Amino acid sequence: MATIAVLGTLDTKGAEHAFVAERIREHGHATMLIDAGTGGPPQVTPDIAREAIAAAGSVDLPDLMARGDRGECVTAMAGAAARAVEQLFRDGRIQGIITLGGSGGTAIGSAAMRALPIGFPKLIVSTLASGHTAHYVGTKDIVMMPSIVDVSGLNQISRTIFSRAAGAICGMVGADVTTEATRPVIVASMFGNTTRCVNAAIPVLESAGYEVLVFHATGAGGRTMESLIESGMVAGVLDVTTTELADELVGGVLTAGPDRLNAAARARIPAIVAPGCLDMVNFGERHSVPAKFEGRKFYVHNPQITLMRTTPEECRQLGTLLAEKINACQSPVTVLIPRGGISVISAPGGPFYDPKADAALFDTLTESLRPDIDVVAMDCDINAPEFAIACTRALLANIARLK
């Protein structure tokens, strides 16, 4: 029998959370009802009171409630709930978590869930589950289920949704998770324009005894990879697709944020880095490209994705930025430069072939790196088999240097 945390603002949604808790107990699991409300008294008696949650986050609850600022209350209790729930997990007291809510409840519940590790069962029934959810999910495996109607009372629709949600979290908790014998993990960044490179590298790394996890460099993929690197679960980083830096610099839609490429340095993880796909900035449909970029070189990758070629000046800035991040590494790191093209479409004859822009990138990068950082420049393109082999050899050598 597992214990499932049922977290919510019990001053306004107590009956709904109590209903879900009862359905969970009918499935044979125990529940821990947690109150994160800051309004009136809870509608049902919690197992963990709001005072305990507030204390976990060093929140002065009476003062917070007296001020009565809803936004401030949600923000404070979101942080406190994250600390409290993480401690419950560390103490082995909970094996799953579910919450119901509108915007405030979703903010609090998702903050708590983001503090929990990947693989821990997490489910939110939310009025916001059908829209943009990236800021709620973050880099974690949070399941968001649309509430259909507002989380406001029990009716024939909400009872159905809440009952299915209770069954879902119980199924997640009860699922038998089988894994292979543990192998050290290498993470790799990949795009459609670098797929052949990564696919050629994977069997070499696997034959050396590693498990390779591939992340699509679409913003969320880069953030998730960085989170995993920082968790300490990673033995090496095959970062051949650093394109998210271009979106961050120029204003594309697939940025992973300013912290991209920082985790390996912070976690002291051996790495190889290549300027893969820094020839492109990503936008949506062609009509969605901001007017300020008119006159630039574009390539319609598919009806939903339009690529814009980076200019020599942007490439110089990217070279400087990339070098700054690599220079922060204290563990072994090698930079590999494919002079024959940094993506499929920037190779000779491709629509983004631009030797001047590439030279600006390569020259600035190499000139800005610390003298002790190894740089391997090759005359092939990034998807050439020999480039993939060079990447794997350099990474394995860097990992071996720490053993």
Q: Where does 176-275 show beta strands of DSSP type E?
A: 185-190, 211-216, 234-239, 271-273
Residue 181 has what pLDDT?
A: 58
How would residue 54 be classed by pLDDT, with cut points 50, 70 and 90?
A: very high
Class of domain 185-400: alpha beta
The ranges of the chain annotated as CATH 3.40.50.12030 are 185-400
Alpha carbons 216 and 306: distance in angstroms, whole number? 17
Q: Which of 33-37, 96-100, 136-140, 176-180 has the lowest average pLDDT? A: 176-180
Average pLDDT across the chain, whole number: 95
Pick the closest to residue 110 from 127, 122, 96, 94 (CA basis): 122
β strands within 36-131, DSSP E: 96-101, 122-126
Other CB atoms closer than 10 Å to residue 222's CB: what's the count? 30
CATH 3.40.50.12020 intervals, the chain: 3-174
Over the stretch 303-347, which tens digit does the pLDDT of each residue have? 889 999 999 999 999 999 999 999 999 999 999 999 999 999 999
pLDDT above 90 covers a percentage of the chain that reads: 88
Structure-block tokens of residue 261: 């490429």
Least confident piece of the model among 58-62, 235-239, 364-368, 397-401: 58-62
Q: What percent of the chain has pLDDT over 70?
A: 99
How many C-beta atoms surround the C-beta of residue 233 within 10 A? 16
Q: Using pLDDT thresholds of 50, 70 and 90, give the confidence band for residue 134.
A: confident
Q: CATH assignment of 3-174, given 3.40.50.12020, 1.10.1060.10, 1.10.287.70, 3.30.230.10? A: 3.40.50.12020
What is the model's pLDDT at position 178? 74
Quickly count: other Cβ atoms within 10 Å of residue 216's Cβ: 17
* pLDDT of amino acid 180: 62
Per-residue pLDDT reduced to its tens digit, 135-177: 899 889 999 999 999 999 999 999 999 999 999 999 999 998 8
Phi, psi of 268 (to 5 degrees): 55, 50
Six-digit token string for 401: 């240097």
Q: Which of 91, 84, 132, 130 has its CA nearest to residue 111?
A: 84
For residues 99 and 120, give the distance between their C-alpha atoms in angstroms, rounded to a whole number: 14
User: Can you give the pLDDT at residue 105?
Assistant: 94
What integer is the mean pLDDT of 225-234?
A: 90
Q: Note the Cα 289 to chain centre separation in Å.
A: 25
pLDDT band of residue 403 (cuts 50, 70, 90) is confident
For position 38, what pLDDT does the model report?
93
- Residues 237 and 270: beta-carbon distance below 8 Å: yes
From CA 118, how far away is CA 233, in angstroms rounded? 12
